Amino acid sequence: MAVTESSTNVVLGGTRGGPDVATLRQDRWWLQPVVTVSVLTAFVIYSTWAAFQNKYYYVGANVHRDLISPFYSPCLASNCVPGSKAGFAFSGWALSPALLILIFPLGFRLTCYYYRRSYYRAFWWSPPACAVSDAHASYTGETRFPLIMQNLHRYFFFAGLIFNTLLTYDAIRAFHQPGLGWGVTVGTIVLLVNAALLWLYSLSCHACRHLCGGQVKSFSKHPIRYRFWKFLTPLNAKHMNFAWASLIFVALTDVYVRLVASGVFSDYKIF
Amino acid sequence: MADVTMRIWRGDASGGDFENYSVEQNEGEVVLDVIHRIQATEAPDLACRWNCKAGKCGSCAAEINGKPRLMCMTRMDQLPEGPVTVTPMKTFPIIRDLVTDVSFNFEQAKKVPALMPPPMPEGGYIMFQEDVERGQEFRKCIECFMCQDVCHVIRDHEANKLHYSGPRFFIRYAELEMHPLDMNDRRDLVREEMGLGYCNITKCCTEVCPEHIKITDNAIIPLKERVVDAHYDPVAWLGRKIRRKTKTSAADAAVQPAP
């Protein structure tokens, strides 16, 4: 390798030690990328199918329930099934209503710092694991389009907060069973847990931690923001756990609503 | 205890290869102990850098079974059965055997603009505990440079060394950016010249840090968010304009002398 000297006095080149192999690691470093690819691929395939199916996403008053899939809430198209429509609806939208909204949760997860780590490793192999060679000859990271758009994460975070609020509203509303009054069913608990996990995922977000307090230079001059930051820091340490739990549970919630809506089984009333 | 086979990289800038040494392994020993035994018996010319033998100087960083680790903190009985491979850090040019030339890091250190506090007030500077604690984590760095070694941005792409300072220096930038007395603004500098955007947060630096510094979560991502504040957030920009909040520019910051 040629030795060149830049204006920064950093000398490039020189012989590196060790053999010229991709890695000398002997452990199962490939396991984590395999699991990541498997789970994320399964989620993408299922959610795409669910988003395009355009039916069985709402369990309505005909069975004394008010359950909506998180993939379709808020239902913003005039072609939404009766009872599932949000206050505002786009008229003339002929495709699945899920396609109007899914860009926001998708964007939030796609630009999430944790998911970036995961898919850069597992899908892009940049690198596939620590101390395992990058699969690409050149590398510019997140300095150019399209990856420079990862900097928009905080906007998707804000959008995610709106969705969390709406899904929480859905979960609370589900406790009121049309024609029967207030009660608890398995469906209400599923929706509630889903909303709770999504809140935990959002609140543990790195952008949230930064905006709530991390961006200040002096904690002592901003005691309230410091308290927010202190509260969010332990949550942030578990961001990975919340990312996976909320991802899997949002799909399970859709599965549950879909199975009830399609008549495979009925939503069990607890009390 | 049974003997162990050590596969150690022997060579210099002109080339090298593995050499196997079958040595005695005693209970409680670390890799550095075994390396020293090889030096004392079979290979007195085996070069390795070491100093404190307590995980506090960072000198004995090498790659053990392909992973960057401190030789003095890696217990032999915690390694899997079979030969133990020891190679020099891959990212830096080899000098001899397990010793590498880490001067890249010292060049990067020179580029970090120093702390720029305001003029000393009467009674001296005052810092509160919560502000001290925030930067304390970053001060634990022992400069073993294993985070630099494992970072694929320079490990696999040599040319990036020209415009990427690496995780060790991002924690230094973060520490200064979070310092309540510092008046410099290094956000332009880390974005444009120190290559913060090259980091794709794969967290390998955090994984290998022997001091368990949360490099990615507590330094690199907060720095990236600060760059977003400065360059990609129109709301933050508007807020700064309304409040007429200005700081020393990055260009000026880069040339500020130490106080």
**Minimum distance, in Å, between the CA of residue A249 and any CA atom of chain B:** 25
> Residue holding tokens 């840090």?
B209
Find the residue in B nearest to A204 (Cα).
Answer: B217
In total, the C-beta contacts within 8 angstroms joining chain A to chain B are 182
Contact A220 B204 (CB under 8 A): no
Q: Is residue A179 part of a domain?
A: yes
**Rounded Cα gap, residues B105 and B69, in angstroms:** 18
Mean pLDDT of chain A: 93
| DSSP secondary structure letter of residue B23 | E
User: What mean pLDDT value characterizes chain B?
Assistant: 92
Any chain B CB within 8 A of the CB of A43?
no
* Per-residue pLDDT band at A5 (split at 50, 70, 90): very low
* pLDDT tens digits for range A170-192: 999 999 998 889 999 999 999 99
**Nearest chain B residue (CA) to A214:** B222
Q: Which chain A residue's Cα is nearest to B219?
A: A214
Least confident interval from A244-248, B56-60, B172-176, B233-237: B233-237
User: ipTM surpassing 0.90, yes or no?
Assistant: yes
Cα A206 to the center of its chain, rounded Å? 13
Smallest CA–CA distance, residue B248 to chain A, in Å, is 14
Length of chain A: 271
Same fold, B3-100 and B103-255: no
Look at residue B254 and tell me whether its pLDDT is greater than 80.
no
> Quick check: is A17 in a domain?
no
Q: How far is B120 from chain A (nearest CA, A)?
A: 17
**How does strand A58-59 pair with strand A75-77?**
unpaired
Residue B186 DSSP SS3: coil
Query: Cis omega (within 30 of 0) on the bond before A105?
Result: no
Chain B closest CA to A69's CA: distance in Å?
33
Give the Cα-Cα-Cα angle A139, B153, B133 (nearest 5 degrees): 135
Please tell me what DSSP assigns to residue A213.
I
Mean pLDDT confidence for A91-109: 93
Domain spans, chain B: 3-100, 103-255
Contact call for residues A221 and A32 (beta carbons, < 8 A): no
pLDDT at A3 over 70: no
Quick check: is A24 in a domain? no
Evaluate if residue B250 carries a pLDDT over 70: no
Say which of A12, A147, A215 has its CB closest to residue B225: A215
Decide if A138 touches B, using CB distance below 8 A.
Answer: yes
Q: C-alpha A92: how far from its chain's center? A: 29
Mean pLDDT for B239-252 is 62
Could you write out the DSSP letters of every residue in A158-178? HHHHHHHHHHHHHHHHHTEET
Closest residue to B13, CB basis, from A15, A120, A214: A15
How many C-beta atoms lie closer than 10 Å to residue A268's C-beta? 9
Interatomic CA distance for residues A100 and A86, integer angstroms: 13
Where do the H-state alpha helices sit in chain A? 31-53, 98-101, 103-110, 113-122, 153-174, 186-203, 206-209, 223-237, 239-261
Asked: is B103-255 a CATH 3.20.20.540 domain? The reply is: no
Contact B198 A142 (CB under 8 A): yes
Eight-class DSSP state of A74? S
Q: Is residue A50 part of a domain?
A: yes
d(CA B197, CA B193): 10
Determine if the pTM surpasses 0.95: no
Q: Is the pLDDT of residue A92 over 60?
A: yes
Domain that holds residue A74: 31-134+153-261
User: With an 8 Å Cβ cutoff, are B158 and A12 in contact?
Assistant: yes
Least confident of A52-66, A170-184, B156-170, B226-240: B226-240
Please tell me the predicted confidence (pLDDT) of residue B2. Answer: 78
Span B3-100: which CATH code?
A: 3.10.20.30
Number of domains in chain A: 1
Give strand pairing partners of A180. Answer: none
Which residues of chain B are within 8 Å of residue A18 when distances are taken between CB atoms?
Answer: 9, 63, 87-88, 90
The reported pLDDT for the residue numbered A152 is 94
